[in-house]
């Protein structure tokens, strides 16, 4: 693999800073805490760390409301701490990817503070402003992801401003070249600090329709099929995101990254109806994003046909782009809790899932704590901190359940996360899965993760290889990863009972690289236990 393309097939580990390690006892994780745990991350066997936002922010949306793009929020530490983090990560062979929240700022950002004053100041058109309709209502029917209208009235300017999320997260006006220039300078700032890449939050929300045309309703048959607590899903989002003008900005962004050499970018794409079309556009021709991830594998569906369909649809649509797959992140329920059936061990799901994820073609992203089998925490309404969950409770419980602190020492106060009161509680169930417990057990889930990631790193076909699916029935997913004369067979039993799967006549197993102890091969028949997997070299 070319050094300049280190991102192809890489393993990224997402760190949610406020929940990783608290170094000063204030109950909130910080950059010095992450530095302390860098050896642990390196030993896991990943290539890069994605840091969720640590910039200066009022924290209305846990840092995704930035008030200064070029400053570290004091709750997380200092700029010197960040520089040391980058230096130590690089010493350990880890890349640093940071979250860039470019679609909107905090309403306390100096740009918006000036913009809202009147209609003639230097920043007057740096955000999306519009007059009220004659009856005083909002300019159009656009909705906020976090509930209600996407428009908020500003009494000083006597206009509405757009916010796709919280009212305190005003949308920037990317139609203004000065806004693009200013944002790219903030990207340059972090490139000069030595970061290796960027995860672009809500990358398809940068531009809106200049004419502010209303979105049409989702067809009734599709609305009726939804189990939606949020009416945002009732619209076809044709005009408030995924606009074609975004392609030229992404080219400017990529040109800046390329001028710094071996840098990478991954875009977050939540685009319900058109995600693969957007991925194809955003990653084509090598002059925009390096890769994207969608929410295709972040949902509840758990079946061979679903995962095969996700991969096949991607490669059918995206000819020259790249994908990054993930099963969990800070915005969705943890996958062991989504996929485990009643009475089923979450450890079995976790062991199965990392084998599957490691075998998929593309890059992969892990979310902190999944290597320990951390489950979704059950929180009361009073414990919630997520404005999204608070707004839609109890139909939607928000994102706090997947954001509870990392657990390091089972018998320490707050499982070693903090000596103070954690910003979210550490549950007893999580504490029992602490790192110190699992490091003492050679057969633990943590050591399973390490072994699977070592295997992936040692097999070029698992990193760079093409994928060819095999006919395997309704319960089994089977495919080959092939590269430069190497061929690896990957077989997964999704069912909760043992299955037998017959090898195709043209395939001969030469070496089992990774398998469940109870998996058996007899002649041309492979018997896999419930949630069993087999990874083998093919001769």
Which residues are part of the catalytic machinery? 201, 268
Task: Count Cβ atoms below 10 Å from residue 211 Cβ, excluding itself.
Answer: 7
Burial profile 281-314: b = 16 or more Cβ within 10 angstroms, e = fewer: bbbeeeebbbbbbbbbbbeeebebeebbebbeeb
Kindly state the tokens that stand for 262: 């071996």
DSSP secondary structure string for all residues of 272-310: TTSHHHHHHHHHGGGSS-SEEE-STTSSS--SHHHHHHH
What angle (nearest 5°) sits at the alpha carbon of residue 444, between those of residues 439 and 448?
105
Give the containing element (helix H, strand E) for 153: strand 151-154
CA distance 278 to 120: 36
CA 124 vs CA 118, 164, 177, 240: distances in Å: 7, 19, 13, 21
Q: What is the dihedral of CA 224, 229, 231, 236, to 10 degrees?
A: -60
CA distance 490 to 472: 11
CA distance 388 to 230: 10
CA distance 267 to 427: 32
How many Cα atoms are found within 13 Å in the side-chain-facing hemisphere of 99? 24
Kindly state the tokens that stand for 40: 């642990």
Give the residue among 437, 485, 496 at the shortest CA–CA distance from 459.
485
The 3-state DSSP class for residue 335 equals helix
Q: Looking up tokens 């992450």, which residue turns up?
A: 34
Give the containing element (helix H, strand E) for 489: strand 486-493
CA distance 171 to 152: 11
For CA atoms 363, 193, 33, 26, the dihedral sign is negative
User: 518: exposed, middle or buried (C-beta count within 10 Å: 0-12, 13-18, 19+)?
Assistant: exposed
Give the containing element (helix H, strand E) for 468: strand 466-470
Burial profile 112-144: b = 16 or more Cβ within 10 angstroms, e = fewer: beebbeeeeeebbebbbbeeeeeeeebbbbbbb
């Amino acid at each position: 693999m070319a050094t300049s393309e280190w991102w192809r097939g890489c393993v990224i580990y997402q760190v949610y800073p406020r929940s990783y390690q608290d170094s000063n006892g204030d109950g909130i994780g910080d950059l010095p805490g992450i530095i302390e745990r860098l050896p642990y991350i390196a030993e896991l066997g990943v290539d890069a760390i994605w840091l969720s936002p640590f910039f200066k922010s009022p924290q209305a949306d846990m840092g995704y409301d930035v008030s200064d793009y070029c400053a570290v929020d004091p709750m997380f530490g200092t700029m010197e701490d960040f520089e040391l983090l980058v230096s130590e990560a690089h010493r350990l062979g880890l890349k640093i990817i940071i979250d860039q929240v470019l679609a909107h700022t905090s309403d306390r950002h100096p740009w918006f503070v000036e913009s809202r004053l009147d209609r003639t100041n230097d920043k007057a058109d740096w955000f999306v402003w519009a007059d009220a309709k004659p009856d005083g209502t909002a300019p159009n029917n656009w909705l906020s992801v976090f509930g209600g209208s996407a428009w908020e009235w500003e009494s000083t300017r006597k206009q509405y401003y757009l916010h796709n999320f919280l009212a305190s997260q005003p949308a920037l006006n990317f139609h203004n070249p000065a806004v693009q220039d200013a944002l790219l300078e903030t990207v340059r700032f972090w490139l000069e600090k030595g970061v290796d890449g960027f995860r672009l939050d809500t990358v398809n929300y940068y531009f809106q329709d200049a004419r502010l045309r209303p979105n049409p309703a989702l067809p009734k048959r599709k609305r009726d099929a939804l189990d939606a607590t949020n009416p945002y899903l009732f619209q076809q989002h044709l005009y408030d995101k995924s606009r074609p003008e975004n392609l030229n900005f992404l080219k400017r962004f990529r040109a800046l990254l390329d001028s710094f050499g071996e840098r990478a970018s991954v875009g977050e794409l939540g685009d319900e109806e058109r995600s693969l079309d957007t991925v194809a556009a955003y990653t084509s021709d090598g002059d925009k994003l390096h890769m994207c991830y969608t929410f295709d594998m972040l949902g509840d569906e758990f079946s061979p046909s679903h995962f095969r369909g996700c991969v096949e649809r991607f490669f059918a649509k995206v000819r020259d782009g790249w994908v990054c797959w993930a099963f969990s992140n800070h915005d969705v329920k943890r996958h062991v809790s989504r996929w485990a059936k009643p009475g089923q061990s979450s450890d079995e799901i976790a062991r199965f899932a990392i084998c599957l994820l490691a075998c998929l073609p593309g890059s992969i992203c892990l979310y902190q704590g999944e290597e320990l089998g951390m489950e979704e925490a059950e929180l009361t309404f009073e414990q919630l901190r997520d404005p999204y969950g608070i707004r839609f409770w109890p139909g939607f419980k928000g994102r706090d359940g997947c954001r509870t602190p990392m657990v390091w020492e089972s018998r320490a106060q707050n499982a070693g996360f903090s000596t103070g009161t954690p910003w979210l509680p550490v549950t007893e169930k999580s504490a029992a899965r602490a790192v110190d417990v699992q490091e003492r057990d050679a057969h633990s889930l943590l050591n399973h993760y390490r072994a699977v990631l070592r295997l992936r790193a040692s097999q070029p076909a698992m990193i760079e290889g093409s994928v060819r699916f095999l006919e395997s029935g309704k319960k089994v997913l089977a495919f080959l990863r092939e590269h430069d004369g190497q061929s690896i067979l990957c077989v997964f039993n999704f069912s909760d009972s043992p299955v037998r799967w017959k090898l195709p006549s043209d395939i001969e197993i030469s070496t089992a690289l990774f398998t469940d102890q109870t998996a058996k091969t007899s002649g041309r028949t492979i018997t896999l236990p419930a949630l069993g997997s087999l990874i083998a070299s093919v001769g």
